[in-house]
Amino acid sequence: MSKLSPIESEFATTEEAEAYDAWFRAKVQAALDSKEPCIPHDEAMAFIKRKMEAKRAARQLEE
């Protein structure tokens, strides 16, 4: 097990970094292989914007 510097990596070991890399690549490949319809960029960005605004509003209510 090889330890990594926190300055160079967010992972503690090379094994953790490699496991994350494999997981991430599998997720990307699954998305590329998906038969689900694509979401237009503008629609996706509008969805994210609504989510972010809702989170901000919820945080303001907590204060």
Q: Which domain holds residue 36?
A: 14-62
Q: Is residue 21 part of a domain?
A: yes
SS (H, E, C) 12-62: CEHHHHHHHHHHHHHHHHHHHHCCCCCCCHHHHHHHHHHHHHHHHHHHHHH
pTM: 0.56
Percent of the chain residues past pLDDT 90, beyond the cut: 68
User: Would 26 be classed as within a structural domain?
Assistant: yes
For the stretch 14-31, pLDDT in tens is: 898 999 999 999 999 999
Q: Give the mean model confidence (pLDDT) for residues 6-21.
A: 84
Q: Is residue 44 part of a domain?
A: yes
In a domain, 36, yes or no: yes
In a domain, 24, yes or no: yes
Q: Flag whether 33 is in a domain.
A: yes
pLDDT of 32 above 90: yes
